[in-house]
Structure 1
């Protein structure tokens, strides 16, 4: 153990990295050896493992009973096999993961408040259901999930296990919409809504990250950064067979909203932007919604510094 009187300038960098990594392992009880991402870039977010409690098979209520939601409140919307569900950000801020079932399908709805990213995953893997918890660890400021079966760590934005027995394996993302309660309910009047009766005592009307989305500052370091946009500028991020492209809302707004036809990695697609509800979605040439990610610019760029970027055409 290092003495509190040791001068920082005398401590070798390698030793500092070893101590920092050991501290992360000890605090959250995960083995980071052999990680697919640099272990010294995995940071403890503050809460211990499961200090932010994931929800598993929680209760849902009809839209008519969701009196706690205001029209402008943001939700993550999922529509599978004709069944629509809304996951309020006000609840996800406190839990980050919902292990859910829609019909016979196991899904994991995840949200990282620090990156503004919501991603839904198919939770069936190798014939079994993956149940996720919140590790309390971050990579590029993004939540690292862990599956309770193998205790492997999974990067939400990479959609890949970075440590443990599942290392290198990937999750299949599902199409999900980040929008307002007003817009989702209008499109899906029979939607079910995640209930505030979660079994946990939380003030879901309070945002524990109040003001963060407007600030330029980040709480944790990232491996790559760009000053091209405000760090918290919202973007729609797409991956088409290994090619990444970002659609910043600032550029979509300049375009005037509506529909944008584009071509990424040889594939035609359509991006729809709703400026009133600050929501963007993408579709393939057959009209099927693509599993894009809505989140902050800094987070998308940190994971995809080689990203292509949509820019609005200049008007004469």
Structure 2
């Protein structure tokens, strides 16, 4: 959103924050048409992100291409990748920056791909709740600077990082997270070979998928929206891997993993886990001791911390 001088988008974000914090009483009950009267989080902390509901359009009818036909992407471009049922699918971050949600249904099942550019969080979910397949859109609202998505069947609001409905008829319900990786385009192709498909740029929308609308945000210390808890222990945009189990949360900051090495054995909530660090991306993934993937979250430090202020932190002695 920032390139050199203040852009229109930065001005709009500033106006949004000021207006939300000013808070007319009616806003505590409804924002962007969503009923917040019985929200599980403070309604005053649910902020307008700037665009209206569906102003950032989710991809509802995704098309996929063979990697050799996807000529837009360069070797170092980042993909959010999901391995499932013997196949692997790459969702380019260049596309997710503009759409944030992909409703990918195949057969009787499907997957919900979500990405919050403000928190750096790419998270996949199983969209089936109590036997009902849900489809999701971008609400235009934020909580702790994170994407609040909504399901179109009940109009419940869902916190992306929590994977939990925080307002509406499904409030308190959780989505099951699915393990994903962040990989460079070249590395993913080499790993999966002919088992891979990539989300096509034929999305039905005209966007420059080679340009991020967020400028240098990933490296700036600036966080556009207020958050509940802050820590200056690391740069706000330091990458961490985070996971919570049995009420215990832990973060593995990438600078600490870089000092430690590629593989780390650890324990969270009484469960042994193995952290695998790839400095080339950079990325980190979590598995069981037997190698089964665990759905941990790659996030900016500020984002993990604000949702988990009591988190343990791995540090090299």
Same structural fold, with TM-score higher than 0.5 when normalized by the shorter chain: yes
The 5-angstrom pairing of residues 2-17 of structure 1 reads none
Shift of 1:234: 0.4
Specify the alignment match of 1:60 in structure 2: 64
Q: In the alignment, does 2:99 pair up with 1:95?
A: yes
- Unaligned runs of 5+ residues in structure 2 are 1-19
Conserved? CA contact 1:91–1:196, under 8 Å: yes
Specify the alignment match of 1:228 in structure 2: 233
SS of the residue aligned with 1:185? helix
Conserved? CA contact 2:30–2:37, under 8 Å: no
Higher mean C-alpha displacement, 104-113 vs 179-188: 179-188
Q: CA separation of 1:102/1:251 partners in 2, compared to 1, >3 Å: closer, same or farther?
A: farther
Distance 1:263 1:52 in 2: 39
Shift of 1:166: 0.2
Shift of 1:179: 2.2
- Unaligned runs of 5+ residues in structure 1 are 1-15
Q: In the alignment, does 2:36 pair up with 1:36?
A: no
Q: In the alignment, does 2:204 pair up with 1:212?
A: no
Specify the alignment match of 1:122 in structure 2: 126
Q: CA separation of 1:20/1:309 partners in 2, compared to 1, >3 Å: closer, same or farther?
A: farther
SS of the residue aligned with 2:256? helix
Specify the alignment match of 1:196 in structure 2: 201
User: Which residue, 245, 252, 270 being the options, matches 2:250?
Assistant: 245
Shift of 1:24: 7.3
Specify the alignment match of 1:4 in structure 2: none
Q: In the alignment, does 2:147 pair up with 1:147?
A: no
Q: In the alignment, does 2:90 pair up with 1:78?
A: no
SS of the residue aligned with 2:205? coil
Distance 1:247 1:115 in 2: 16
List per-residue Cα deviations over 1:136-172 (Å, max 9, x = no partner): 0000000000000000000000110000000000000
The 5-angstrom pairing of residues 132-143 of structure 1 reads 132-143=136-147
Specify the alignment match of 1:176 in structure 2: 180
SS of the residue aligned with 1:184? helix
Distance 1:145 1:106 in 2: 17
When Rg is computed on C-alpha atoms for both structures, the one with the higher figure is 1
Q: In the alignment, does 2:295 pair up with 1:311?
A: no
Pairwise CA RMSD:
1.5
SS of the residue aligned with 1:162? strand
SS of the residue aligned with 1:199? coil
List per-residue Cα deviations over 1:195-240 (Å, max 9, x = no partner): 0000011111111011001110111000000000000000011112
Specify the alignment match of 1:289 in structure 2: 293
Conserved? CA contact 1:24–1:44, under 8 Å: no
Conserved? CA contact 1:88–1:194, under 8 Å: yes
